[in-house]
Structure 1
Amino acid sequence: MTDRLAGPVTGPSVWTSSELAADDSWIYHINDVDIEEIEAAIAGVREKGLAVFEFGAEDFPLPSLSATLDGVVEQLENGRGCALIRGLDATKYDEDTLKTLYWGLGMHLGQPISQNARGQLIAHVRNTGSDYQSNNVRGYTTNSRIKPHCDPTDVVGLLCAHPAKKGGSSEIASAMSIYNELLAQNPEYLEPLFGGFHFDLRGEGVTDDPDEVTFNKVPVFSYCDGRMSCRYNRKTIEDGQVKAGEPLEGIALDAVRAVAELAMRDDLRFDLAFQQGDIQV
């Protein structure tokens, strides 16, 4: 039997848009000393002949800033679940330097893994003309408004190198607040959400089959060792269930769509307007 939490989730990971807007504890401002450390670290890895992806945190020392980054990790693990690093002047650096900077900071936050079958560790969020509604298309390669989702890693980062001419804001919501809303208003939805679904692998599975889905059903909500976690992507769930020959219907379909609707509800959704140089994690 799947472990369940007896009541609602509590703590700082539960928030509304107004509560997050009134709280700046999750925003970390980079100062001049931090910039000097970052630029010295960039110079250091280049002196060693190390390219992006070839160095770790030990090659990118940040004597003072590392304490701030430890705070970011704590915020992600035990705080709001999101963080914003602000104050970098992205206009000072070319693309290769920005990648080196971004990679170096990231190495102080965790262990990097590729985010697609091509093994990319850093990818551009850029409109390439792809159709978001097509199968096996990544939303960040289109100009469409991306539906609410969780990326499959523990932490995902976004660095704003150039603000969008139009749109481009980041919309975030607390999965824990969504869970609490479902528990209070539609508890019957939790059974299928804990039971899980086949996720569409978008042609990036081990078989390279464009119709491959996850072997096992992946739960949207999981409760383990006293922590609630969430894995959600409406598009890959709905597409995956179709490819598995089990298209969503009834209460399961209602439950999956309810998560997206709650994530976009004005009182739960926080809209972050990126400034050039911002890093959201």
Structure 2
Amino acid sequence: MSTVLPVQVSGALKPLINVNHEVPALPSCFPPTLEGELAWNGADFVSESTFIYELTGADKNEIRAGLAHFKGLELDGGELGPASFPLPTLAAKFRGLSRDVYDGKGFCVVRGIDPNVYAVEDLTLVYLGIQSHIADQRGRQDKRGNMLVHIVADNSSKERDEHHRHSTKSISFHNEESGDIVSWLTRSTAAAGGKCIIASCYTVYNVLAARRPDLIRVLARSDWPFALPRFKCRPVIFYEDSRFIMNFGRAALLGSAIHPRPARLPCLTSRQIEALDAIETIAQATQLEFQTQAGDMHFINNLAVLHRREGFADGKSATEKRHLVRMRLRDSQRGWKIPQSLKGEWHAAFEEQDAAKVWHLEPMPDAFFPLRKYPN
């Protein structure tokens, strides 16, 4: 696998050539090139076996034994951890996957669980059990404390149909607002479409650093007017502790159909919009896409890998309706140093000890959407 993406990666990137005669330098703290496994191109992965761990029959038996052990303890599901869901052989393998997510290519898939052989409660516990060996901390995903967020199509109201969580439309590349790792369990897949699509933030950086270092300077400035959930200005990209981090979402910067941006808030400049478009162009030119199967468990480095979804169409039967269960995770041993500008979101997700935690096994009954709060 290549560690540095060649500048001549695709004809689609020709518009990114800087037409200015004077090429500005990168910000002083940013390196000229990011090297390592995290700097990949989707074309590097000639086989899905390089990132999908297929559970064996023995693995599945060990997981069933771990589930039985946990249920015998009569603990609440929120208390499930590596000690209460023992996996004598698989634990080491899953810790290896954790290393790969944090310090390797930045993502992995665990495949082989059949959702149809488990009751929904047990399937959720299996997901939590496997997840606990990859990352031992779980984050709250909204102010109500939802730990499990269900991503399903729902057009029963305009608000639901236009929210990206419940829309069937494709969405652009982005990161989640908090969490070192974004993870989801696929309970069922759509009749058509809905592929998982990811791209390396390191590769995006390398192309920009080579072709448009002026946009690196734009992305590193602290004048980006985010609103997630409260308004604040911060950078899109960071480099500290020898780690490159990207964190943004277009809705938080531009607003959306159901969360229109108030006129009193600052708008993006033309240069900022150009930088966002450049990220999307490079990510699409270098993306990796693959079809998800029911039972798949995805683990993606939310600090170094962008993700998006293609559009999809559900079928009539329950097994042809796309249903993901998302979690935000962090590992106490491998976790990266979080930039100061992002610590508020991480604190709210992982460190508010007395905050409520809610575990809905099915989609939230009131279709709660975290509304952005703006200053008066």
Partner in structure 2 of residue 248 of structure 1: 268
- Note if 1:85 corresponds to 2:101: no
Helix, strand or coil for the counterpart of 1:112? strand
State how far apart, in whole Å, the 2-side matches of 1:3 and 1:126 are: 44
User: Which residue of the partner structure matches residue 176 of structure 1?
Assistant: 202
Per the alignment, residue 148 of structure 1 pairs with: 173
Choose the corresponding residue for 1:105, options 93, 113, 130: 130
Contact 2:55 2:112 in 1 (8 A): yes
Find the counterpart in structure 2 of residue 139 from structure 1.
164
State how 1:121-136 maps to structure 2 within 5 Å. Answer: 121-129=147-155
CA contact (8 A) 1:200 1:241 kept: no
Establish whether residue 271 from structure 1 lines up as the match of residue 289 from structure 2. Answer: yes
Residue 8 of structure 1 aligns to a residue whose secondary structure is: coil
Residues 145/15 of structure 1: CA separation in 2 closer, same or farther (3 Å cut): same
Which of 144, 160, 184 aligns to 2:186? It is: 160
Post-superposition shift, 1:218? 2.9
Q: 2:40 aligns with which of 15, 19, 28?
A: 15
Per the TM alignment, residue 193 of structure 1 is displaced from its structure 2 partner at its CA by 0.7
What's the secondary structure of 1:263's corresponding residue?
A: helix
Q: CA deviation at 1:123?
A: 1.6
Change (3 A) 1:144 1:10: same
**Distance verdict in 2 for CA 1:228–1:87, change over 3 Å:** same
CA distance in 2, matches of 1:75, 1:237: 31
Q: Return the letter of the residue paired with 2:273.
A: L
Aligned residues: 266
Secondary structure, counterpart of 2:76 in structure 1: coil
Among residues 261, 267, 272, which one is paired with 2:281 in the alignment?
261
1:199 to 219, 223, 226: 226
1:237 matches 2:253: yes
| 1:217-249 residue CA offsets vs partner (Å, 9 max, x unmatched) | 232211011111111212212239954621012
Letter aligned with residue 58 of structure 1: A
1:13-53 per-residue CA deviation (whole Å, 9 max, x = no partner) reads: 01111102347332212111211111111112222222322
Q: Is the 2:199–2:288 Cα contact (8 Å) retained in structure 1? A: yes
8 Å contact from structure 1 (residues 90, 277) kept in 2: yes
TM-superposed CA distance for 1:200, in Å, is 2.2
Whichever residue aligns with residue 14 of structure 1, its letter is A
Relative to 1, partners in 2 of residues 1:133 and 1:160: Cα closer, same or farther, differing over 3 Å?
A: closer
Aligned residue number for residue 8 of structure 2: none
Matched residues in 2 for 1:132 and 1:273: separation? 28
The aligned residue for residue 209 of structure 1 is none
* Bigger RCO (CA 8 Å, 6+ sep): 2
Match of 2:98 in 1: 73
Counterpart in the other structure of 2:234: 218
State the Cα RMSD in Å.
2.4
User: Could you report, residue by residue, the CA deviation over 1:156-187 in whole angstroms, capped at 9, with x for unpaired residues?
Assistant: 11211111112111110011101111111211
Partners of 2:160 and 2:167 within 8 A in 1: no
- Determine the C-alpha separation between the residues in 2 that align with 1:275 and 1:164: 10
Q: CA-to-partner distance for each residue in 1:118-151, whole Å, 9 max, x for gaps?
A: 21111211012265899xx752222221211111
- For 1:241 and 1:180, locate their aligned partners in 2 and report how far apart those are by CA, in whole Å: 33
- Is the contact made by 1:234 and 1:260 (CA closer than 8 Å) also made in structure 2? no
Instruction: Evaluate the alpha carbon distance shift between residue 89 and residue 186 of structure 1 in structure 2; reply closer, same or farther with a 3 A threshold.
Output: same
Q: Which has the higher strand share?
A: 2
- List runs of 5+ in structure 2 lacking aligned partners: 1-26, 300-376
Q: Percent identity?
A: 25
